[in-house]
Amino acid sequence: MTDRMTVGYLYPNSVPPVTPAKRLDPNVQQPQGTKSFQDVFRDSIVRVSHHAGVRLQQRGIELKAEQMDKIHSAIEKAAAKGAKESLILMDNMAMIVNVKNKTIVTAMDGAAMKDNVFTQIDSAVIIS
């Protein structure tokens, strides 16, 4: 894991078509139904906060591409229901995710989950 503030993961299969901007003027609005490259890129990344990265490293958890795809899907489902802070349970690990920012805030393995109380969440997504 890196010690940068966030680590991103790109989902090339879920990127919608992008229309090129004709001008870089921030006052010019995109035609309805189109997204800028920056918006598409930002929306397709799951970030890992520094704290979560440290926890993953300490607990020997390495997230594989398939797991990141599942996490991205879980975040999208939570967002569709209006969730803000979600608990994601997957493969004997738990993660607290800021849904709006698509950021894993903290993570723990099965041993760390025992007798734990999860607070300040408004939803849970269980991935099988």
For 87-110, what is the mean pLDDT? 94
Digit-coded pLDDT (tens) for 13-38: 455 555 554 555 566 665 666 666 66
Q: Residue 16 corresponds to which tokens in the numbers above?
A: 């919608």
Domain ranges for the chain: 6-13+35-127
CB distance 109 to 61 below 8 Å: yes
pLDDT computed for residue 74 by the predictor? 96
- Alpha carbon distance 74, 87 (integer Å): 10
